[in-house]
Chain A
Amino acid sequence: DQQVKQNSPSLSVQEGRISILNCDYTNSMFDYFLWYKKYPAEGPTFLISISSIKDKNEDGRFTVFLNKSAKHLSLHIVPSQPGDSAVYFCAAITRGSTLGRLYFGRGTQLTVWP
């Protein structure tokens, strides 16, 4: 039962354009969301996060938007660069939970071409 879903396994974008990666979740108890970036044969690295009390968080070229009513979040990368080519994982957590675990989506492979 996938509580965090990334329905697009891949996305291809031209350099300089906007990349939009989408993520949906089913558990209304999630109150914190994260995006991780992963290169092949490496561990994921934390990219950006957002609390459920906000609807937008920005960090340089990366912006995450949260729509709680739709249980949907998206990661915008502007402008996209070839070095952004990687797998992007969406993750969610209920911070008050004693379990303290992240739930990950299956990832979206982003390819930025020149």
Chain B
Amino acid sequence: DGGITQSPKYLFRKEGQNVTLSCEQNLNHDAMYWYRQDPGQGLRLIYYSQIVNDFQKGDIAEGYSVSREKKESFPLTVTSAQKNPTAFYLCASSIGVRTTETQYFGPGTRLLVL
């Protein structure tokens, strides 16, 4: 049963705290992506990775960091520098950035600031 899992479903962050959102895929996909969804804003790209140990900034990378140490995993850290972190975060993957454009999404993590 292949797919993308994100955890936790809900996450609460205190002021000044870093939090890490998990994203795992067992689809053997090379490319992985992080998006943020805000009401009326659509999906905005935070970071993406085309291959292990490589990643690129998207449109709104400030205040976020990622790592790609394993093909299956692409965790996103929301740092204290992100001043407005409350949003719905979506992870996605695709076979590769050039071989296919279809991205498969996880169920999302809703981050709330206390």
A residues apposed to B, CB below 8 Å = 6, 9, 32, 34, 36, 41-46, 49, 89, 93, 95-96, 98-102, 104-107
Tally of A-B Cβ pairs under 8 angstroms: 61
Q: Tell me which of B42, B56, B107 contacts A99 (CB under 8 A).
A: B56
Contact across chains for B101 and A32 when beta carbons are under 8 A apart: yes
Known: A44-B90, A104-B35, A106-B42. 8 other contacts (CB 8 A): A41-B88, A43-B106, A45-B105, A49-B102, A98-B97, A100-B48, A101-B33, A101-B45
Task: Report the interface size for chain B: residues with CB under 8 A from the other chain.
Answer: 30
For B40, the chain A residues whose CB sits under 8 A away are: 9, 106
Contact across chains for A107 and B56 when beta carbons are under 8 A apart: no
Contact across chains for B108 and A100 when beta carbons are under 8 A apart: no
Q: Tell me which of A43, A49, A100 contacts B107 (CB under 8 A).
A: A43
